[in-house]
Amino acid sequence: MSTEELRKASCQPLKGAEHRLPADQVNALLVKLPGWTLLDDGRMIGRDYRFDGFLGALSFANALGWIAEQENHHPDLELGWGYCRVRFSTHDVGGLSRNDFICAAKADALLAS
């Protein structure tokens, strides 16, 4: 899947370990999302976004929150002055699913010019 395809895709309800992506697919998708890294022994992806102040970080977190509700797929967020730390994993599969990469691409698209 290309970055553009990920950005346009919708999350699907996924439950069960059979939906967990194998390492080769994870690595192939990560290549499409520069800035995102593998965390937690490959069970999570994350990216730290930088902003000029607090309001930028807060606005980004709010926009991402709206997307998360639409997609029913939710990030772990940590924010403060100048940064928003985003983490995705799929609790319902016990690791990474396609949904994490779709939402990561949508998060990036919020800031793309």
Ligand X SMILES: C[C@H](O)[C@H](O)[C@H]1CNC2=NC(N)=NC(=O)C2=N1
- Residues at the contact surface with ligand X, assessed by CB under 6 A: 72-74, 88, 90-92
Q: How far is CA 71 from CA 1, 24, 80, in A?
A: 18, 25, 25
Q: How far is the CB of 64 from ligand X (least distance, A)?
A: 12
* For ligand X, the closer CB: 8 or 91: 91
Buried b (16+ CB within 10 A) or exposed e, 9-43: bebeeeeeeebbbeeeebeebbebbeebeeeeeeb
Q: How far is the CB of 4 from ligand X (least distance, A)?
A: 22
* For ligand X, the closer CB: 43 or 74: 74
* For ligand X, the closer CB: 78 or 92: 92
Q: How far is the CB of 71 from ligand X (least distance, A)?
A: 8
